[in-house]
């Protein structure tokens, strides 16, 4: 007689064609922001096929937009719902949230792609298309794991709560909506593309804008003006020092392989409107990384103080202080004790499938894990198939073998965590 572990592993091995078709259908639905409904329909159909208890709703209520963690410039969520499917347990076991986002970033210039960005083309064991790695491959792993358990006739004691959310790429409003709707559990797994590593800690991040004033003048008499670009360079130099100072404090071994654990990236600069004029305004926009063990407010305060220091050493900036504002997206950091039981359960399951210990590191980017852990109080590990090197890029792809192996690992973790019912 087969053990529950053997049953789910064999089921997943025998379901690879079906799993591939599911992933292909998801990738072929271009679920960019504001157009998530088509891919969500595929998800909902699959969840209903599995007999899950469904909750489908358009986010925006339950105090979402006034919550301190809400961050989105999107005004209309109509027609693009969140979807939650629950596999009820028999009682007495621990519960698990399986969280995946359905939204993908834009494809960019189609000329950079070898094929249609939403083709779902398969070649040499890889499935290509926007969202294949980030993170429809991981979502497919979740659904395959749940299907293997259910269709193998195995009942768990604890509930499994599958979540397919919108808005992750823009700040996590979809996952925040699930928390405010009351969905919590004893733990959560988010299968972002970690290259099959375990991430108990996740970097947070925020977008910032710094407006630096100058004084306009004719380029021929530039000495009569104050060049805002040159003053902005002083600010940027100080931000580089701040980045070094903040990263020198990070001694967590989980960050050892990451050259800059919490970067301050300058992503955009706008200044001037005429080559023969001295620009009177320079606007810097960028992203500030936030350490797992700090708050967004603490990081904001450090940047404010760094800019104030520049003003103390420059007469013009002292009298014309740059304006710092926070806009657009932000993500809460995540910080799970590496000795948490969920780490041990996932590590054991990984060892069962891969016959080696997993690499455990910190995430170099933000996820919805910060919302689940900091707002929902749910312990989170980020673990999934795919590599970030292909995410958000042209010719994005995922190795199908990783999708299937991740499904097996997650299925075994569910058996251990939620416990098999007699």
Active-site residue set: 103, 168
3-class state of residue 103 by DSSP: coil
| Pairwise CA distance, residues 133 & 393, whole Å | 10
Other CB atoms within 10 Å distance of the CB of residue 36 = 28
Q: Per DSSP, which regions of 174-298 are E strands?
A: 188-190, 198-202, 204-213, 217-218, 264-271, 277-278, 281-290
| Pairwise CA distance, residues 31 & 38, whole Å | 7
Q: Which one-letter DSSP state was computed for residue 219?
A: G
Residues 398, 141 contacting (CB under 8 angstroms):
no
| Pairwise CA distance, residues 360 & 255, whole Å | 10
* DSSP bridge pairs for 326: 208
Hunting for tokens 């969280």 — which residue is that? 99
| Pairwise CA distance, residues 308 & 177, whole Å | 37
Per residue, the 3-state secondary structure of 37-78, as one string, reads: HHHHHHHHHHHHHCCCEEEEECCCCCCHHHCCCCCCCCCCCC
| Pairwise CA distance, residues 50 & 146, whole Å | 8
R_g (Cα) of the chain, nearest Å: 24
Residues 379, 340 contacting (CB under 8 angstroms):
yes
Residues 133, 194 contacting (CB under 8 angstroms):
no
| Pairwise CA distance, residues 195 & 16, whole Å | 19
* H/E segment holding residue 25: helix 16-27
């Amino acid at each position: 007689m087969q053990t529950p572990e053997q049953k789910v592993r064999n089921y997943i091995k025998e379901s690879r064609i079906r799993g591939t078709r599911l992933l292909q259908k998801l990738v072929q639905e271009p679920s960019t922001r504001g157009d998530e409904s088509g891919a969500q329909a595929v998800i909902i159909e699959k969840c209903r096929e599995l007999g899950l208890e469904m909750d489908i709703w358009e986010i925006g209520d339950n105090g979402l937009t006034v919550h301190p963690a809400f961050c989105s410039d999107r005004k209309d969520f109509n027609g693009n719902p969140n979807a939650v499917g629950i596999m009820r347990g028999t009682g007495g076991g621990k519960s698990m949230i399986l969280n995946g986002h359905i939204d993908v970033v834009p494809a960019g210039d189609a000329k950079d792609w070898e094929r249609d960005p939403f083709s779902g083309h398969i070649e040499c064991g890889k499935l290509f298309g926007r969202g294949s790695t980030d993170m429809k491959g991981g979502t497919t792993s979740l659904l395959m794991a749940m299907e293997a358990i259910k269709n193998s006739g195995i009942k768990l004691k604890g509930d499994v709560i599958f979540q397919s959310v919108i808005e992750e790429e823009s700040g996590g409003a979809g996952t925040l909506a699930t928390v405010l709707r009351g969905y919590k559990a004893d733990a959560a797994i988010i299968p972002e593309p970690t290259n099959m590593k375990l991430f108990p800690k996740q970097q947070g991040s925020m977008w910032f804008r710094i407006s630096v004033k100058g004084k306009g003048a004719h380029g021929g008499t530039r000495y009569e003006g104050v060049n805002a670009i040159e003053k902005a360079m002083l600010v940027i130099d100080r931000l580089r020092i701040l980045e070094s100072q903040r990263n020198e404090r990070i001694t967590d071994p989980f960050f050892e392989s990451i050259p800059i654990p919490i970067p301050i990236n300058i992503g955009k600069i706008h200044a001037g409107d005429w080559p023969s004029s001295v620009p009177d305004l320079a606007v810097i926009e960028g992203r500030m990384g936030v350490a797992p063990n700090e708050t967004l407010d603490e990081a904001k305060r450090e940047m404010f103080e760094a800019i104030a220091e520049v003003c103390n050493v420059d007469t013009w900036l002292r009298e014309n202080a740059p304006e710092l504002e926070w806009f657009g997206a932000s993500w809460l950091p995540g910080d799970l004790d590496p000795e948490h039981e969920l780490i041990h359960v996932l590590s054991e399951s990984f060892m069962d499938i891969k016959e080696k210990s997993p690499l455990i590191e910190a995430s170099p980017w933000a996820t919805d894990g910060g919302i689940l852990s900091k707002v929902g109080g749910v312990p989170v590990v980020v673990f999934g198939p795919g590599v970030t090197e292909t995410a958000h890029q042209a010719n994005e792809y995922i190795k199908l073998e990783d999708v299937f192996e991740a499904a097996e690992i997650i299925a075994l973790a569910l058996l251990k965590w939620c416990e098999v019912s007699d």
